[in-house]
Structure 1
């Protein structure tokens, strides 16, 4: 038997082995406490199996063993829904039922794929060369892209809710998952192009991207922790009516999927009530200087003022037009300006001033300062 080894096959094989190792590792890490790793591990396993038919073809094994044609290792309809569920489970909305319905086309794909694989070889070869294969490929990649759009939308809603609860959102925004999803959508488009042009150089480029994506999602998935909503600790209050309720203004709604203030649709707050909430919160923050605590959360404010955190969040969004993260960073920027203007702090670096004001990192400090003042902290200091 002649085996045609080539560089592309080696890279392809590396991606498969890498995916099997990382996927298996995540499945081993799976537990009741860390249940989302199950979905990520399965996604990586399925994602990494995609190149196997190409490897068998490059090595000449399909010519020797033609019954291996149409191995059921393509999971266009199943892989990305698993990643979608993983993102839903680790997000701030992890206590909600994920979109299991997205798995239905994938389960049907697996069952049909097994049936087709068991067919006589000559029938499989006919199917492979037919329009059926083209339609299946295009629909599968199209479904993956659509799921990718749903993932990006979910992460955007998650990010908005995180900003309503935490003053430090570093590593909670799931930026890596958003970038990975964008890259994956681009990867699907490259596969569609390669399907029609069938160019070895182009396929080599796709193979390298595939290996990078597997490593990227595996590494990030291993270090990513679940992000629990802080509002869940106040869930016992959600059944209580809001004080001073009227029937004029509905509580904030964020998309059709979730809400910033998860209270009954029939509950309302007047502008007067919201103004009182903000006045109480602002007085406490100024007097306590609690914003200098770099891991301050809306729960800390709620406990200190005895106001439900969802009411605080809603009041800030509707009266101030800002989320909790932006609101607290404004206090920190003002504090940083005071420190800059105090000559006794000349020995402190710009980053040191940021830390004193409550910022968690240099990047966050610079970003917030420029947002509010229109210049960097260093520029402000030098003026």
Structure 2
């Protein structure tokens, strides 16, 4: 075995070992802290095992132990569905049914792969060199990409709903998971091209990316907490709409009904007059109470104060201002920050301090919101002549 094969085998082995250990860690954390990490741990475990056949080949183990040929560790149809279920489990839609149906092809895959593994060595080589193996490889890639497209759609819907319920979005938008999926699509693309060119250099890059992805998803997964829906999300508008008390949900992991309006059957739409009236009540309250200074403000807090169902509040803001709830509240925070930046108070506060005074919980959130609303940074605005 040459040096290049040794290096690639070492990287592959590192990925397998770290992946298995991190997967076990996530499962242990899931048991101890009741976090939604079981499905992520299973995904990492299955994702990490795939390089094993290449390791066995490069190390010459298949020459001395030919019965290990076609070891059933390539979970093309099973791994990514567990990532999808994990995303559903931690997202704002965790009250809905999880996509267990996506596991069905993977279960059949594992049964078939185990059956093939138990066949005589000569028969396994025949299958390995057949067109069926090529078809199986490409179908697995296509199914994985299909599942990742579903994940991206789930995250998009999740982000839209979160922005209509929270004003502090840190660790709630699942952006890390979105970029992880994008990177995995690139990863699968590299595997696709490697199937044709079979280059050691190309595969070395795939191995390095594999190790990085395992560390990335494990680290982010440990940090990520389940996002609680402040409004019961249900596509069936004929059903009763329930609200969830977020604080009780976090502390007790249970939901409760809040009496925020006279009607418990809230439609997803209102007339224009109703929307305008709702927004007027909302806007008056936000201006007079200066509730936007509360950095943890949610739509539930306002709904309780003005006794209007949060679904109606959200719809009114979306319709009248063409903004989500998060951007609407941030517009008031940015307006206050602009006042402070042009006042004598600016000389006694840092830029970050001005953000805190205005209701922003983090420096990054303040900078992003200010730049989005004013088209310049807070420091640039402070030094401008406007």
Counterparts of 2:307 and 2:260 in 1: how far apart (Å)? 17
Aligned to 1:287: 288
Q: Secondary structure at the match of 2:145?
A: helix
TM-score by length of 2: 0.89
Q: 1:129 to 1:239 in 2, by over 3 A?
A: farther
Name 2:237's counterpart in structure 1: none
Q: Are the structure 2 counterparts of residues 32 and 85 from structure 1 closer, same or farther at C-alpha, using a change threshold of 3 Å? A: farther
The offset of 1:239, in angstroms, is 12
**Matches of 1:241 and 1:218, distance apart in 2:** 46
Whole-angstrom CA distance in 2 between matches of 1:377 and 1:186: 36
Q: Who is 1:278 aligned against?
A: 279
Alpha-carbon contact 1:370-1:376 (below 8 Å) kept: yes
2:243 to 230, 234, 237: 234
Partner in structure 2 of residue 302 of structure 1: 303
- In the alignment, is the contact (CA less than 8 A) between 1:26 and 1:37 conserved in 2? yes
Whole-Å separation in 2 of the counterparts to 1:284 and 1:223: 35
- Residue 258 of structure 1 is matched in structure 2 by none
* SS of structure 2 residue aligned to 1:231: coil
Q: Which SS does the other structure have where 1:110 is aligned?
A: helix
**Equivalence for 1:317:** 318
Kindly indicate whether the alpha-carbon contact (under 8 Å) linking 2:35 and 2:225 is maintained by their aligned counterparts in 1. Answer: no
Distance change in 2, residues 1:87/1:163 (3 Å): same
Asked if 2 retains the 8 angstrom alpha-carbon contact of 1:47 and 1:79, the reply is yes
Query: What are the superposed Cα offsets for residues 159-201 of structure 1, whole Å, 9 maximum, x if unpaired?
Result: 1111000001011111110010000010001001111111111
Which range moves more in the overlay, 233-242 or 275-284?
A: 233-242
Q: Which moved more, 1:371-380 or 1:205-214?
A: 371-380
Please say if 1:100 is aligned against 2:100: yes
Gapped regions of structure 1 (runs ≥ 5)? 244-261
**What TM-score comes out, normalization by structure 1 length?**
0.90
What is residue 259 of structure 1 aligned with on the other side? none
| Cα separation, 1, equivalents of 2:288 and 2:379 | 28
Unaligned runs of 5+ in 2: 233-241, 245-256
Q: How does 1:160-309 map to 2 (within 5 A)?
A: 160-232=160-232, 234=243, 236=257, 263=266, 268-309=269-310
Deviation at 1:34, TM superposition (A): 3.2
Secondary structure, counterpart of 2:45 in structure 1 = helix
Q: Deviations for 1:301-358, whole angstroms, at most 9, x for unmatched residues?
A: 0111111111111111112111110000000011111112222332212221111101
Q: Secondary structure at the match of 1:140?
A: helix
Aligned-pair CA distance for 1:48? 0.2
- The alpha-carbon distance between structure 1 residues 147 and 241, as it changes in their structure 2 partners (threshold 3 A), is farther
Q: Residues 1-383 of structure 1 correspond to what in structure 2 (within 5 A)? A: 6-31=6-31, 34=34, 36-232=36-232, 234=243, 236=257, 263=266, 268-383=269-384
Against the structure 1 CA distance between its residues 230 and 380, is the aligned structure 2 distance closer, same or farther, given a 3 Å change threshold?
same
Runs of 4+ aligned residues of structure 1 deviating over 4 Å after TM superposition are 2-5, 237-243
The secondary structure found in structure 2 opposite 1:230 is coil
Cα pair distance change 1:268/1:172, threshold 3 Å: closer
Alignment size in residue pairs: 362
Query: Once structures 1 and 2 are overlaid, which stretch shifts more, 355-364 or 11-20?
Result: 355-364
Answer whether contact 2:166 2:297 (CA < 8 A) is retained: yes
CA distance in 1 between counterparts of 2:131 and 2:161 reads: 45
CA contact (8 A) 1:239 1:263 kept: no
Distance between the aligned counterparts of 1:323 and 1:8, measured in 2? Answer: 48
Query: 1:162 touches 1:172 (CA, 8 Å); kept in 2?
Result: yes
